[in-house]
Homo-oligomer: A and B are copies of this chain.
Amino acid sequence: MKYEKLEPAAIDENLAGLSGWTLAADRLSMSKSFKFRNFVEAFGFMAEAALAAEKFNHHPEWFNVYSRVDVKLTTHDAGGLTDHDIKLAKAMEKAAARRAD
């Protein structure tokens, strides 16, 4: 599968279709801090996101402390954001929505 960097307009368009993701100042990565009710829900989200990541062969950088999961997505091979990041972000949105208050 190709890893072509998204054009600036495509990045903006994709992010507009997602909720709560922040584009880094250098536009090379996107981040979101997910909040859950407790550790079980946070790790449940991580487990579901991990399965998607492994299936897509595209993995996040993420930090977890108790009910919070901070995610950063980028495509190292392409040196920036690609469709793989958008795909993984969408999978994470779905996983998070299942655990929403």
The 0/1 profile, CB within 8 Å of B marked 1, for residues 52-70 of chain A is: 0110000111111110000
The smallest C-beta distance from A89 to any residue of chain B, in angstroms, reads 16
What residues of chain B lie closer than 8 Å to A61, measured between beta carbons? 63-65
Q: Is A18 an interface residue (CB 8 A)?
A: no
If A40-B54, A53-B39 touch, whether A64 touches B62 (CB-CB below 8 Å) is yes
The smallest C-beta distance from A27 to any residue of chain B, in angstroms, reads 20
Additional A-B contacts beyond A39-B50, A43-B47 (11; CB < 8 A): A39-B54, A43-B50, A43-B54, A46-B46, A47-B47, A59-B65, A61-B64, A61-B65, A62-B64, A63-B63, A63-B64
